[in-house]
Structure 1
């Protein structure tokens, strides 16, 4: 559910290109002592130790550290079977208190507001917290010292020097005192249209690159008694939002998405957005099962595994999430979203790929340096490799999975990345910067896809919400260059 991919191209150079970001945040995000939603603003006692070459973050080596992991598409084994044992091996006198949940905001917000938060939190899923608000409230720790610390297992390099370019920038915000990093965006995701390669081979279906070919194939698939396209309206509408955003960027370049992030007036009613919404809206009208509006992501994904659904828009965590449902007759593959128009400014091979899956240390925990040390373990080359093996997703640790045998879906994703070359774009950030816009987009995209394909209504609805956010002085603003 949460948000995330892999080929013949050298993975290190591949990730360097794909993670290039270039964000710039305005000084509107202030480090405030008030908590998100109110609550205690008293500073809790922090466990600290003496800094040394072996203990660069100065943790209390005997103090417990508490972590909470989102239980979604990436699973939790990387935390229980890899990261925690590595932490314990390094610091045997420290207890790691671990828990997992699908309801991050419901579970964590009250603890942040009461000053009793976990030390390291994986903020993800449909119930993820507004991270911009967390930064604004001073509840996320500055990770400057983490990135400047020596790598856990790469001799002679800092943590920052082991990461793909753009990885730190993606979690950086402007606050009082300057721009600072507050999040580790750990998993590297490729987004596209997933399908069963064996089903396509059986029926001699060719992967489409143009919209005309996509429509023609959808007609063939429908005639074969299979739903051509589907997503889950109950809790995975953001998969569809990303599909529309990706198509819009291919029509008009990534600048279209930057305009949305920057709350530019008229950005949501721009031609590229409307063209993308119109094209996908018609897919909803002609080729989707309307009952899927009430289904959850795993229910629709299971139907794809049973060859009842052909195309499914998702990120590269999908293969791992569905591992238990994959039969010998099913082999995941992924393709770029087809070109919507004959004049798209980016080629058909262009794709959206980016770092995602937020992890942060909380200032409202009792062992913030321990939380950072846990992140240092996660950012080791060894932990990153095991994460890829377990989740079928890359990480922002450069080259960690080089030379590894990977799964069919991951291989397909890497081939897609290789073909994309320089035409790989990060995507958009308004959904994480402005929760009000994210919430509105989920309703708007469901109305578009399940209720008639009215692209103008989709654009007008989102334009109004965006400008309401722009005019609301209580909402901290961020900008992209």
Structure 2
């Protein structure tokens, strides 16, 4: 890097800071410069022979290393897919962790990453920055390979709508496979609502009525993961889109100068602030992590929780047999909403990547092909109560109450499905700045106007920062 200009050095430093590299002990920000790019990796194994049964030319002597995020889905589904891989291609080294960024970022910097990374959880790496640094493999060969779910189709042709687009970052290339299909919404116990003698509220006035009735019986209405406040966005973003139309979320994704100043944002923030003002949020929620908030919910101490469809599996140890876990769209504000009640945020999620510097890139691609096969997709759904990105993979399966309700929500939404890209494109902005503003709003530390200002100020800062790559939709 001896010929790099001071300006470029500053850009590298900014990018490294965004990735969290400068905080890694023993690493320097500039060391990422040496590992960027996908050319000339001495550690790569030679390709194997391409055949009908080995379309991605995996070297059967190479071995494979897979790292899985040990969150709501656990890692057994991956172990099962690894067994299938091992039958044809040899030994697999498996690891699981909840500290993806802490464990994987140093290896990405050194140029010695595993072959497959399940880049998920609260400590996921900033995939957009990694792609910009050419540290991620283009998944095109995988998508164009024959499917193990339907041999008459390519892998690409078996995927649910939006899955391919979710893996794209400003180009036609696909760098990320989002394996699960997640339904975000407001989760509740059907039996708990029945005990209150109420139905799920479809408008905000009805929501406030349910909250009031619950409070009279000593039950708080809402809880949330205060330590991970971006969980609030799982319902808030769809609420904003429902009130003001899908273009409101597009404006937020596109970092527009007035994205957070729209009346739809104001109305959504005011509605949520009312929950706090009227005492309808479980005390202490601001200090709870996702597991603790879910446990308070399954114990019956709160009626509603913003979450994703992984929660059925993640909370199964504390969920009573008669809980009847159910998901529904965030209630409408009122009849003036631009989109119907059924509107929901649903998308391919649970991201996987194959690092460009991986030793066995072909093996990593083949492992993902196996995961999208009939055996693996069925196993995933039955094991962890979640849909996959493969269209039709859950047909005919006996689904649990939570997953069954999620499937019904998606079917009821039809074309009214929202898929914002904010958290994919601008991870730090989404999780820390917007999430932080939502946390302060829900705790009563600030009001709706101040929350809007903070979100817009943070958005403007990102838009004006030339070191951060921008995306449009």
SS at match of 1:150: coil
Alignment of 1:147 with 2:134, yes or no, is no
* Pick aligned residue for 1:243 from 229, 235, 257: 235
Aligned length: 440
Structure 1 residue 446: Cα displacement: 0.8
SS at match of 2:348: strand
Alignment partners' CA distance in 2, 1:148 and 1:141? 14
Aligned CA-pair RMSD: 1.6
Alignment partners' CA distance in 1, 2:347 and 2:293? 24
| Counterpart position of 1:409 | 402
Which structure 1 segments of 5+ residues have no match?
Answer: 1-33
**Greater RCO (CA < 8 Å, at least 6 residues apart):** 1
For residues 100-119 of structure 1, the aligned pairs below 5 Å read 100-119=96-115
| Counterpart position of 2:460 | 467
Residues 135-163 of structure 1 show CA distances to partners (whole Å, capped at 9, x for unaligned) of: 01111101111111111342222111111
| Counterpart position of 2:317 | 324
Alignment partners' CA distance in 1, 2:436 and 2:204? 25
| Counterpart position of 2:451 | 458
Decide whether the 8 Å contact of 1:164 with 1:396 is kept in 2: yes
Structure 1 residue 391: Cα displacement: 1.3
| Counterpart position of 2:259 | 267
Alignment partners' CA distance in 1, 2:348 and 2:465? 29
Structure 2 length as normaliser, TM-score?
0.90
Residues 237-277 of structure 1 show CA distances to partners (whole Å, capped at 9, x for unaligned) of: 11102221111000011110011111111011111111111
Structure 1 residue 46: Cα displacement: 1.3
Decide whether the 8 Å contact of 1:171 with 1:182 is kept in 2: yes
Residues 41-80 of structure 1 show CA distances to partners (whole Å, capped at 9, x for unaligned) of: 2624312212222211111111111010001111111011
Decide whether the 8 Å contact of 2:296 with 2:302 is kept in 1: yes
Decide whether the 8 Å contact of 1:193 with 1:337 is kept in 2: yes
SS at match of 2:184: strand
Alignment of 1:233 with 2:229, yes or no, is no
| Counterpart position of 1:87 | 85
Decide whether the 8 Å contact of 2:162 with 2:347 is kept in 1: no
Structure 1 residue 289: Cα displacement: 2.7
| Counterpart position of 2:185 | 192
For residues 77-476 of structure 1, the aligned pairs below 5 Å read 77-80=76-79, 82-91=80-89, 94-174=90-170, 179-235=172-228, 237-286=229-278, 287-426=280-419, 428-438=420-430, 439-452=432-445, 454-476=447-469
Decide whether the 8 Å contact of 1:339 with 1:347 is kept in 2: yes
| Counterpart position of 1:62 | 61
Greater alpha carbon shift after TM alignment, 195-204 vs 458-467? 195-204
SS at match of 2:148: coil
| Counterpart position of 2:9 | none
| Counterpart position of 1:75 | 74
Which structure 2 segments of 5+ residues have no match?
Answer: 1-14, 22-29
SS at match of 1:110: helix
